[in-house]
Amino acid sequence: MEKEVLEKYKRAEEISTKVIEFSKGLLKDGIKILEIAESVEKKIFELGAKPAFPLNIGINEVAAHFTPASDDTSILKVGDLVKIDIGVHVDGYICDRAFTICVGDEKHQLIEACEKTLKEALKLIKPGAKICEISEVVENSLAEFGFNPIRNLCGHGLERFVQHAAPSIPNAKNDIKDELKENQVIAMEVFGTNGSGWVKESYPALIYQFANDRLPRLLEARKILDMAKFKFEKLPFTKRWLKEFSPLKLDFALKELVNIDAIKAFPILKEQTDALVAQAEETVIL
């Protein structure tokens, strides 16, 4: 890996560490989740980087792909299991990290299980390691605590301006014998649950991403597609970031863009039995 590229990855990691510490200070009973999202994203910019995706805040059964809308008034409550998934990029080089806290309680067995499992998995993240070996460690480690992995969520590779690249590293046992390679960047991600171990799609979608060049009919849709491609650099974005459009026109424009496959929508992912989910994630350069 070129020295300049490595330095940008390191800078993204350094900034993400500061952002994580900042975000942990916000997670208290009574705070609006909208305030959390806007404060953390603002902090990323202030530190000289950009969000690689909208801040994901998964509460209790919500595993992924949730970020608050601009009119969201919901707050954190004591006992909430809160997942914070942060993406930071410097010139497209992404650091993707996540942690879980239980509001008002320093300890939670599901959080402990995911953090220990991530540490065990990271020991294997090196050139030559087989995907199936890593996934087996994840499932076995969570099972020792009496929990299940989320079987349809994965760790993943990172590439420049690509937040989900090959390889995928499932949380559950499999027979994928592909090996990790030198210079790959891996976001090792563990999702544990006291439920069935599967997530389902839930609506509405609040996160979108550029997919293809198309010619939308609506003027607002054309503007949003340009923003998705250039301003957001083909990385995920959220409705909350499109403040210059009225809510009604924004909804019509996004619907048209999804329908013509110009952008992709990311539905909220919830544990299918509405059980608790915890998450732990770190980015590693092999």
User: Of 190, 157, 174, whose CA–CA distance to 63 is shortest?
Assistant: 190
Question: pLDDT digit string (tens) for 216-267?
Answer: 999 999 999 999 999 999 999 999 999 999 999 999 999 999 999 999 999 9
Strands, sheet with 237-238, edge to edge from the N-terminal-most edge strand: 62-64, 263-271, 199-210, 237-238
User: Of 212, 224, 211, whose CA–CA distance to 253 is shortest?
Assistant: 224
Determine which helix (DSSP H) or strand (DSSP E) holds 238, and give its type and residue range: strand 237-238
pTM metric for this prediction: 0.96
pLDDT score at 105: 87
H-only helix segments in 131-217 = 131-144
Residue 89 is among the residues annotated as catalytic for this protein: no
Residues of the chain predicted below pLDDT 50: none
pLDDT score at 152: 97
Task: Assign 92 to helix, strand or coil.
Answer: coil
Tell me how far the alpha carbon of residue 5 is from its chain's centroid: 22
- Tokens describing residue 26: 């916000």
- Taking the C-alpha atoms of residue 57 and residue 4, their distance in angstroms, rounded to an integer, is 32
Residue 65 is among the residues annotated as catalytic for this protein: no
Q: Which residue has the tokens 């020295």?
A: 3
Identify the structural domains of the chain with CATH numbers, from first to last: 3-200+274-285 (3.90.230.10), 202-269 (1.10.10.10)
Name the CA dihedral angle for 78, 80, 35, 158, rounded to a multiple of 10 degrees.
150
Angle of helix 131-144 versus helix 109-122 axis, rounded to 10: 150
Residue 159 is among the residues annotated as catalytic for this protein: no
Catalytic residue among 91, 115, 164, 233: 164
Rg (alpha carbons) of the chain, rounded to whole number: 19
Residue 180 burial class via C-beta count within 10 angstroms: exposed 0-12, middle 13-18, buried 19 and up:
buried
Catalytic residue among 13, 41, 80, 96: 96
Catalytic residue among 61, 189, 220, 256: 189
Catalytic residue among 61, 65, 156, 271: 156
Q: What residue type is 151 in one-letter code?
A: R
pLDDT score at 80: 98
pLDDT score at 23: 98
- Taking the C-alpha atoms of residue 131 and residue 52, their distance in angstroms, rounded to an integer, is 25
